[in-house]
Amino acid sequence: MQIPSGPAAPGRTRVYRAHIFHIAGTPAQQEVASHLVSLPDGALVVDADGRVAWIGDFASLPAEHVDAPVTRADYLLPGFVDGHVHYPQSYATAAHGGGQLLEWLEHCIFPTEGQFADPDFAHRAARYFTRRRIAAGTTAAMVFGSAFPVAQDALYEETLKAGLRVVSGRGVQTVGPAAASALLTGEKEAISMVADEIDRWHAVDTGDPRTARVQVGIVPRFSLSVTRQTLAAMGELYDEARGKGVYFHSHLNENNRKGDGEIAAVLGAYGTQTYLDTYDGRFEEGSKVGGSSLLGRRSTLAHAVHCQPEELARMAETGTSIAHCPTSQLFLGSGTMPWRATVASGVNVSLGTDIGAGDEWLISRVAGDCYKVHISEPGDDGTALHPAELLFAATLAGARALDMEHAFGNFDPGKDADFLLIDKALWEPLDGMLTMGIRSDDEEQATLEELFTLLVGLRQPAIAGVYVQGRETIAPEL
Ligand SMILES: [Zn+2]
């Protein structure tokens, strides 16, 4: 198989001069405010291989870099990381008529995902999805995949050509309603298709999961779309694949409508004490162990809106991350993940668009919704997130969820230079807010206000450049 190479390395050292924000180091969630770096006239020096060689005030640029070409922008941020986005739902955002989760899946989602069986449709959708990611500055993503290998191949090919990062895996369903019939396979076939995708695509670009831009995961849609037999077979496969850096990704505790919502249906079908038990090898009646756990540092569960305390503790203990998707939760009426209790448990929380239940591709807008829903939680649970927490959730927490914090997520020297250039004049309202908005007389407070406005006020047209490993990404033609 021919592996597309993507954009060429920078070939020489370059300097990017802008107001730079990032969360430096490897802080715990509670410490991120003290790790916020703001360089109002900053310089990011990117070496010939696309790594961060130096970062600091432009006025202090080391002598060896003063002759390097300089690119200017208003702002420079780490690339956004989308912790949960459905590629086969690319065209299904803002779909009316679905209702809450289970009805929406049946009426809107299973039919749209069935279209990806057609190779021409799938290739066009892969190009569209890649264009949406570049427009939104999503340099890395945990991508919930299509059931169809032809569509997954198109996704990986387009991602490599464009120069983006991806973790994905075919969405596995072995049981489901009639509307999902095109997406279902037998048990054996399901596992062999996942194993084949791992063989053909996992770390295919570098051969090393610590450096690869393309990686693969085991991705059951959710517990209701598989059986105990599927979960047991996935556990066996993961025992073999975990050491190669293969991921696990699915949904957890999204919708608890009384009586017939997702959570009640899962607990009814499996007879377990918690929903998480089904992914933790404890999927037999009464949460007895029936197979191997799918949790770990390369595992992310989307939503986790209605978790029991022991589920949060178990995710924290195993290094499993949550992809928090507030925009999607508003759309499907799924409720609000309790922010304080969730982060207090120690579990890592990244942000996900959850396209297509989420109707917004831009992770900073998801961060804006995150701010709004948590300040609106009732009573003492309500909290106004710090601007540094929003930046962290949109960038470094996402890298941590992918177990790739060593490679990207901030501008610590030696990391890959994954970043966005933002020009406020490209989006008049952003220019208005940032240029004319009122600011505190206190310099530190004014900086936080500026970051908040930048994140919450940003819209796609103001993203002037999207870089991965120092290479400007290339959007495919449709
Ligand atoms: Zn989802």
Map out the domains of the chain as residue ranges: 14-78+411-472, 82-401
Q: How confident is the model at residue 461 (pLDDT cuts 50, 70, 90)?
A: very high
Q: How close is the Cα of 85 to the center of ligand 1, in Å?
A: 7
Domain 82-401, classified CATH 3.20.20.140, yes or no = yes
How does pLDDT run across 218-274, given as a tens digit for each residue? 999 999 999 999 999 999 999 999 999 999 999 999 998 877 889 999 999 999 999
Q: How close is the Cα of 457 to the center of ligand 1, in Å?
A: 25
Q: How close is the Cα of 337 to the center of ligand 1, in Å?
A: 15
Query: Residue 302: CB partners within 8 Å, gap ≥ 6?
Result: 83, 84, 144, 249, 250, 251, 252, 254, 322, 323, 325, 352, 354
Q: How close is the Cα of 287 to the center of ligand 1, in Å?
A: 25
What was the pLDDT predicted at 99? 86
How does pLDDT run across 134-147, given as a tens digit for each residue? 999 999 999 999 99
Q: How confident is the model at residue 28 (pLDDT cuts 50, 70, 90)?
A: very high
How does pLDDT run across 354-375, given as a tens digit for each residue? 999 999 999 999 999 999 999 9
Domain 14-78+411-472, classified CATH 3.30.930.10, yes or no = no
What was the pLDDT predicted at 98? 87
Q: Is the pLDDT of residue 4 over 90?
A: no
Q: Is the link from the previous residue into 356 a cis peptide, with omega within 30 of 0?
A: yes
In terms of Cα–Cα distance, which of 325, 322, 415 is closest to 366?
325
Q: How close is the Cα of 197 to the center of ligand 1, in Å?
A: 21
Residues 433-455 have a mean pLDDT of 97
Q: How close is the Cα of 84 to the center of ligand 1, in Å?
A: 6
Residues 9-16 have a mean pLDDT of 95
Q: How close is the Cα of 209 to the center of ligand 1, in Å?
A: 24
Q: How close is the Cα of 408 to the center of ligand 1, in Å?
A: 24
Q: How close is the Cα of 354 to the center of ligand 1, in Å?
A: 5
Q: How close is the Cα of 49 to the center of ligand 1, in Å?
A: 35
Q: How close is the Cα of 17 to the center of ligand 1, in Å?
A: 37
Cβ–Cβ < 8 Å for 380, 472: no
